[in-house]
Amino acid sequence: MTAALALGDDALVLSHRLGEWAGHAPVLEEEVALANIALDLLGQARTLLSLAGDEDELAYLREERAFRNVQLVEQPNGDFAHTIARQLYFSTYQQLLYAELAAGEGPFAPLAAKAVKETAYHRDHAEHWTLRLGDGTEESHRRMQTALDALWRYTGELFEPVEGVDADWPALRDTWQARITAIVEQATLTLPTGPQAGSWAAGAGRQGVHTEPFGRMLAEMQHLHRSHPGATW
């Protein structure tokens, strides 16, 4: 099922990226928060991938070109501001999408009804840190603005229609942009304008074309399973 792979891969890859903060987060409380978000996403990924086949095989034995996640979620953590910008863009999109799916009667409605509560927390967490960093010190403001600018180019792909996902994609994009704009302005930050705004274009992650960091991340994620094929506890 194409849709289950696309949504499942989004959650799986971002879960792994957030898990990379274990032992490295700026404060202990934030390490726990990021780990909890990663676990929420992993739970979503397991449910979605199981709709498409064997979840372990899909996660650990597919090649890079077989993954259907958007390029945004595979971007490296960078500094903490980059992680927050990535989370702000994605969790706002995911919460809006799942709210729409939960209100319908499609195959993803049961999952969405549960996940929408999780994604609302993920969005609130990202918004809180966006405000804290943007309206904080001169240095935190600069870093948060740099992160928003750097990741903006990957957001267009979020609104490319996914076969099998019954959503009003143009309306979703408009609502997302309004919400992102509001929180960014509240944080005394700005979204890219001028030449940078022109880079707001869809990537090709849904078609299996990924950015260079994804290959390295995938090798790390799949290493243990591939090193010991068929192993059981």
Residue 233 lies in a domain: no
Statement: residue 232 has pLDDT above 80: no
How many domains are contained in the chain?
A: 1
Q: Tell me the DSSP string of 89-113.
A: HHHHHHHHHHHHHHTS-STTHHHHH
Q: Could you count the other beta carbons within 10 Å of the beta carbon of residue 2? A: 13
Distance CA 45, CA 18 (A): 14
Q: Could you count the other beta carbons within 10 Å of the beta carbon of residue 47? A: 19
Distance CA 73, CA 88 (A): 11
Residue 56 lies in a domain: yes
Residue 184 lies in a domain: yes
Distance CA 53, CA 45 (A): 12
**Domain interval for residue 43:** 2-227
Q: Which residue has the higher pLDDT, 203 or 40?
A: 40
Give the Å distances, CA to CA, from 72 to 47, 93, 165, 232.
21, 12, 19, 33
Residue 7 lies in a domain: yes
Residue 110 lies in a domain: yes
Domain holding 21: CATH number?
1.20.1260.10
Residue 169 lies in a domain: yes
Average pLDDT over residues 178-183: 98
Residue type, 98: Y
Distance CA 207, CA 140 (A): 36
Residue 232 lies in a domain: no
pLDDT digits (tens, 9 = 90+) for 114-129: 999 999 999 999 999 9
Contacts of 124 (CB under 8 A, 6+ apart): none
pTM: 0.93
Average pLDDT over residues 201-221: 90
The confidence band for 2, taking pLDDT boundaries of 50, 70 and 90, is confident
- Residue 29's pLDDT is 78
Contacts of 132 (CB under 8 A, 6+ apart): 140
Q: In degrees, to the nearest 5, what angle opens at C-alpha 72 toward C-alphas 68 and 74?
A: 70
How many CA atoms does the CB half-sphere of 130 hold within 13 Å? 31
